[in-house]
């Protein structure tokens, strides 16, 4: 594993699949300011690499992807420093959400608070059989903010309200039933489940996937009529690449 900085490790295979590992952040991969900034810087650097077909975000070890934000650091904040702290985490979530290639969250063990906000910014969430999820902020005197705003879009208002107002945790089967995660792997099968999703993405046109991800992000913000209008232009622009001709020809000429 190559280290882009003290907290961001990277491995890359011949297919263009990159694995980003949160490093030197404790056994639960906790997001203090230094870790948050380092991970954002690493993702921003990688975003310029058009050879990346898919990115897998993971923590060190199997206890968590991200256990949460650093409560020890937050306990010392005042209003001004609190806004700076949460702005860092916002910028990390946006770096994940805006990453041009698909991002897969590999989620064993615990995923709480700021960790769940980062996961919500990913395109796909693959959970281990023993995973647990929660938004415990109100129990320590703060609201869930920034990319917790994605939760109602993922799981609906009632379930999002339950998570952020009761601070109760849910297990992996519940998260799957709610739509918080896309897949729950069997025991010992988390990496295989991630690889299954990676392979599905690799069978798609990389430029088409990048366009699709960008469209989805805009669809979250735009009214329906504008979303449809925008899509027409993006569809036409896809024919400026060789992907439609090449991949459609392969489809037409496949063995029947």
The burial of 69, by beta-carbon neighbours within 10 Å (0-12 exposed, 13-18 middle, 19 or more buried), is given as buried
Among 75, 83, 127, CA closest to 105: 127
The pLDDT assigned to 255 comes to 63
The pLDDT assigned to 251 comes to 86
The burial of 24, by beta-carbon neighbours within 10 Å (0-12 exposed, 13-18 middle, 19 or more buried), is given as middle
The count of other CB atoms within 10 Å of the CB of residue 146 is: 19
CA dist 209 and 116 (Å) reads: 24
pTM: 0.95
CA dist 124 and 107 (Å) reads: 10
The count of other CB atoms within 10 Å of the CB of residue 59 is: 26
The pLDDT assigned to 256 comes to 61
Q: What stretches in the chain show pLDDT beneath 50?
A: none
The pLDDT assigned to 253 comes to 86
CA dist 161 and 156 (Å) reads: 9
């Amino acid at each position: 594993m190559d280290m882009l900085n003290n907290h961001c490790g990277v491995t890359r295979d011949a297919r263009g699949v990159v694995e980003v590992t949160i490093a030197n952040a404790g056994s639960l991969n906790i997001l203090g300011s230094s870790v948050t900034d380092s991970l954002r810087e690493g993702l921003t650097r990688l975003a310029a690499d058009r050879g990346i077909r898919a990115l897998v975000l993971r923590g060190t070890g199997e206890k968590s992807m991200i256990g949460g934000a650093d409560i020890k650091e937050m306990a010392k904040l005042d209003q001004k420093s609190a806004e700076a702290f949460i702005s860092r985490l916002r910028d990390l979530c946006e770096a994940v959400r805006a990453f041009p290639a698909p991002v897969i969250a590999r989620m064993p063990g615990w995923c709480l608070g700021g960790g769940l906000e980062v996961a919500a910014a990913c395109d796909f969430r693959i959970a281990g059989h023993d995973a647990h999820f929660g938004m415990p902020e109100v129990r320590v005197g703060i609201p869930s903010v920034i990319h917790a705003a994605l939760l109602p879009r993922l799981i609906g208002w009632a379930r999002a309200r339950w998570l952020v107002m009761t601070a109760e945790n849910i297990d992996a089967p519940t998260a799957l039933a709610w739509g918080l995660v896309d897949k729950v792997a069997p025991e010992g099968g988390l990496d295989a489940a991630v690889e299954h999703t990676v392979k599905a993405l690799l069978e798609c046109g990389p430029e088409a996937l990048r366009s699709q991800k960008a469209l989805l992000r805009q669809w979250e913000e735009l009214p329906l009529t504008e979303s449809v209008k925008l899509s027409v232009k993006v569809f036409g622009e896809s024919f400026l690449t060789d992907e439609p001709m090449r991949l459609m020809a392969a489809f037409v000429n496949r063995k029947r």
